[in-house]
Amino acid sequence: GGFSTMTKMQDGEDELELYAPNPGVRGMTCLDREAFNKTINVPAIKVRKEVINPLMKSLKPRLIQRPNMKRVVEDPADDVNKLVLLDPFKVTSEESFEERDRLLFEKFDVGLRLTRYDLQLAYENFKCDEILRAVLPKGQDVTSGFSRVGHIAHMNLREHQLPYKNLIGQVILDKNPGITSVVNKTSTIDSTYRNFQMEVLAGEENMITKVKENYITYEFDFSKVYWNPRLSTEHERIIQSLKAGDVLFDVFAGVGPFAVPSARKNCVVFANDLNPESYKWLVHNCKLNKVDKKIQAFNKDGREFIKTTVKAELPKYMKLFSGERERSLHIVMNLPALAIEFLDAFRHLLGEEPCDNPMLPTVHCYGFSKDDNPEKDIKERAESVLGSELDDCSVHPVRNVAPNKEMMCISFRLPAKVLFEKQADAADEPASKRLKTDEAPEN
């Protein structure tokens, strides 16, 4: 078996070679599409015009495979027959055809004789990464990967690719139907408003885009708000844990990827974002998805939102849902760079318990961890900010952000002793009441 794998390896390399653009394009920084023209010699078979269709199906596995390539061409020396172009790596001689091909050729009276054809390859016949691999310096990694946000391709170019950034942008634009704008992130996320500084590499400057996520449409200005298509699974995971009638407080709501689908599920939603642009598009997306009656939107700092809106609304629902199994309260805090630090806003947020058995809210808080044990790290950090141990909690890995940086979500029932002030002064209470408190289990 060793020999056959050798030939396969050889074939793969020859194929890369045959279909590689001209060596002359290496180092090009301004896209010149004509420079990619190249002639290669491929096998072909002569077929009468009227029998091409019935033959094509059985020939399909042996046809040449290239983007935007016509596989049937005029024969320059013959006006009765056309030429069908074949894959030079699958058809090396007449012997390459199987018995059933031969029978078919006989049936349609086609002579089984291979001829050669000079095929012109042009820019449109090369794939995106073939072009970039040919242009960028040898041996350096080629990113043709991008996040798609509506009509925008969002790239994250490395230092060594920057001299070629406009060419890369143009190639991505050409090779991906529906993409009309290619942008590159030029600096880290602005931590106040969480939008990227970005530059347009190719295409139109229009950054107002429309995306569909889990069957819901969002519109926003991608240059001014935060949106990450890689979070759709996480949005869905949280939404699935909610039921109609639940209440959601979304502290860093962005343009609404948690708030809008929750409201669609008939939850009561209080959604907040500090960035005025995010707030504007959040309100817009509520109307767009016809849930504006179910969402109250706010444009405040996260801590202020907790200390005003959450403080005012939470006790009503804690009392209303007391002892219920059907409905629950949720607080989502998706600002992974900082959210854990905001947990201190819940310490003694409410005076006394609104009723005997209040429903405690479940908090879903996001964070980044560079620790070897991210679960443990996130839990310890949350406990330290809350000033309390968390018994009733789970930590879920969301995604890998960088080689040693994980995005995690910790979900926990907010402990009563964190939320209420009066618990601490149990000693001053009458004995009858104190007895009850002491007997209550910790968790």
Q: pTM, whole model, 2 decimals?
A: 0.82
| Joined tokens for residue 144 | 């043709």
Q: What is the pLDDT of residue 190?
A: 60
- Residues of the chain with pLDDT > 70, as a percent, come to 90
User: What is the C-alpha separation between 120 and 106, in angstroms, rounded?
Assistant: 31
Q: What is the CATH number of domain 229-439?
A: 3.40.50.150
Q: How confident is the model at residue 402 (pLDDT cuts 50, 70, 90)?
A: confident
The residue that leads in pLDDT, 439 or 215, is: 215
Q: Identify the three-state secondary structure at position 276.
A: helix
Cβ neighbors of 119 (< 8 A, separation 6 or more) are 39, 40, 41, 42, 64, 85
Q: What pLDDT digit, counting tens, does each position of 268-314 carry? A: 999 999 999 999 999 999 999 999 999 999 999 999 999 999 999 99
Q: What pLDDT digit, counting tens, does each position of 108-121 carry? A: 888 888 999 999 99
Among 3.40.50.12160, 1.10.3720.10, 2.40.50.140, 3.30.300.110, what is the CATH number of 128-212?
3.30.300.110
User: Can 128-212 and 229-439 be said to share one CATH topology?
Assistant: no
Q: What pLDDT digit, counting tens, does each position of 48-93 carry? A: 888 888 888 888 899 999 999 999 999 888 888 899 999 999 998 8
The residue that leads in pLDDT, 185 or 3, is: 185
Q: Is the pLDDT of residue 186 over 80?
A: no
Residues 122 and 36: beta-carbon distance below 8 Å = yes
Q: What is the pLDDT of residue 101?
A: 84
CA angle 417, 245, 353 (to 5 degrees): 20
| Joined tokens for residue 392 | 């009733």
Q: What is the pLDDT of residue 442?
A: 42
From the number of C-beta atoms within 10 Å of its C-beta (0-12, 13-18, 19+), residue 299 rates as: middle
**Domain definitions of the chain by residue range:** 2-124, 128-212, 229-439
User: What is the C-alpha separation between 45 and 51, in angstroms, rounded?
Assistant: 13
Q: Is the pLDDT of residue 5 over 50?
A: no
Mean pLDDT (whole number) for 334-346: 96
Closest CA to 404 of 377, 441, 438, 432: 377
